Amino acid sequence: MKSSKSIVKGFGFLALSSILLTACPGNDTDKDPEIEIEDTTKTSSEGKVNPLNVVPVGGAMFSVPSPIQLGQIIQKSGAPYNADILNNPKAYESYVDLVSQSLNLGVYGADLGYCALYDKQQESIGYIRSAQKLSDILGISDAFDVETIQSVERNLDNKDSLLYIISNSYRKADDYLQTSDLKHIGALIIVGGWIESVHFAGILGRENKSDEVVEMIGMQKHTINTMLDKMLEQYFNEPGVEEVYNDLDDIRTSFNKVNIKYEYVAPETDKDKKVTTLKSKAIVEMSDEVFIEIIEKINAIRTKITAS
Amino acid sequence: MKNIFTFFGLLLILGATKLNAQCDTIANFCHQNNFTVDYVSDGQNYRAFLFGDQEAEFETTFFGGVTYRIAACTGFSQGDLIFSVKDQNNNVLFDSIENQNSPYWNFKVENTITVKISAKLDDLENSSGCATILIGFKQ
């Protein structure tokens, strides 16, 4: 009986531990050692947190920029709409494995956002239907259900509402995938969207290498480290994930040649308007050769993904 | 003995399912109550289950010229989750506790920077909970 009690206690502890681990996957609090940071002021001690008590969110310590957000920066730069840079909306039929379906759902999300930003209504419909087909196959049809499609169709001439609906659909998909055993699919969707949006920026950069584009691409150094070390590395046991990791790891070697310096400037807060203005600066240093090397590698992986 | 194993097995599954469902519902509540059509979600949900004084933390890039909104929730009343924004050197750029535990805040970003967002429970309200943070950007 004594041994039964021990087993029960042990199992109780295991049950509690498992619940906690399910809710808080991973506990990696490592810092990125590759980023060179310069600070002109003294570090605040108030902001320091006991590292043993910091929980990484969703197993990732870094978020990936939204493809719609990157598309918005490109559109605001004055770049004209270019249909040739988008994936073929009918290509979804040729994606037969979970990895290419997941990556291309992310690609279509970025394409959809791009079309919506440029008020391309018919093109938007084409991409949302492709996204719906892939999400059905992946078992996340709730994110692009009939109601969502109808809502998109009703709001085709209202860009703000359209972008709101699209981004919320991807958030719902992320929500579902984070609470299922399909987390690797969620990670691949995010990776696909990121590759497509950096591909857009690369095309723009080839035509006009403005400071804005250099900064946008250079700051992806943080993102690629997160995608590899915090997201994809967890799912090596899933078929095809390691290959995606290796392709991105090759791009990381080029990003490692980018230097980012940081300068702190005190922020200003307007409590009445609930707005804080952040004035600090990060300066991206990247040679022309490294810039071209990165966008060529991005283009190669993007071609591989969309052609598979 | 078999019944005991079955009981704890069920407890484990139900516990995990309940926590996940709770986080899922809170994320939707948080979105509905703090995001209007002006602000587009970045498509991700950042969350962790916290106990006591644990703190959840992640990094993100804020792009120059963009206004962001961060919303933080841990239950179905607003302001239960305290959140802060720090720079790479741990300089505090914003802390919601100094702003009446506001459930959301807007950040006008002049230059592209990487920031750390962290969240902890308001210990007067909760001893544990699903911390959910959402980020949106102004259209």
Residue A54: inside a domain: no
pLDDT at residue A59 in the model: 43
Tell whether A3 is within 8 A of chain B (Cβ).
no
Q: What ipTM did this prediction achieve? A: 0.87
Tell me if A272 is assigned to some domain: no
Containing domain of residue A223, as a range? Answer: 65-256+287-307
Answer whether A154 touches B (CB < 8 Å): no
Cβ–Cβ gap B41/A168 under 8 Å: yes
Cβ of A278 within 8 Å of Cβ of B107? The answer is: yes
Of A11, A271, A279, the CB nearest to B110: A279
Residue A201 lies in a domain: yes
B21: which chain A residues are within 8 Å (Cβ-Cβ)? 179
pLDDT < 50 regions, chain A: 1-52, 59-62
Neighbours of A257 (CB within 10 A): 15
Residue A113 lies in a domain: yes
User: What would the two tokens of residue A143 be?
Assistant: 């994110």
What residue of B is the nearest CA neighbor of A58? Answer: B47
Whole-Å CA distances, A181 to A185, B5, B43: 9, 23, 19
**What pLDDT does residue B22 have?**
67
Cα-based angle A80, A83, A89 (whole degrees, multiple of 5): 150
A116 CB within 8 Å of a chain B CB: no
Q: Is A77 inside a domain boundary?
A: yes
Which residues are registered as beta bridge partners of B69?
B106, B136
pLDDT at A25: 33
Q: Does A282 touch chain B (CB under 8 A)?
A: yes
Contact A62 B15 (CB under 8 A): no
Amino acid B91: pLDDT: 97
- Number of folded domains that form chain A: 1
**Amino acid letter for position A208:** N
Which of A284, A170, A156, A181 lies closest to A235, judged by CA? A181
Q: Is B44 exposed, middle or buried (0-12, 13-18, 19+ CB in 10 A)?
A: buried
Chain A residue numbers touching B48 (CB-CB < 8 A): 23-24, 55-58
Q: Is B27 on the interface with A (CB under 8 A)?
A: yes
Assess B91–A contact: CB distance below 8 Å, yes or no: yes
Beta-strand pair B81-86/B113-121? antiparallel
Closest CB from A55, A164, A271 relative to B50:
A55
Helix (H, G, I), strand (E, B) or coil at B61: strand
Candidate CATH numbers 1.10.10.60, 2.60.120.960, 2.60.120.380, 3.40.50.300; the one for domain B2-138 = 2.60.120.380
Q: Is residue A163 part of a domain?
A: yes
- Which residue type is seen at A62? F
In the prediction, which pLDDT does B44 show?
A: 84
Give pLDDT, residue B48.
Answer: 84
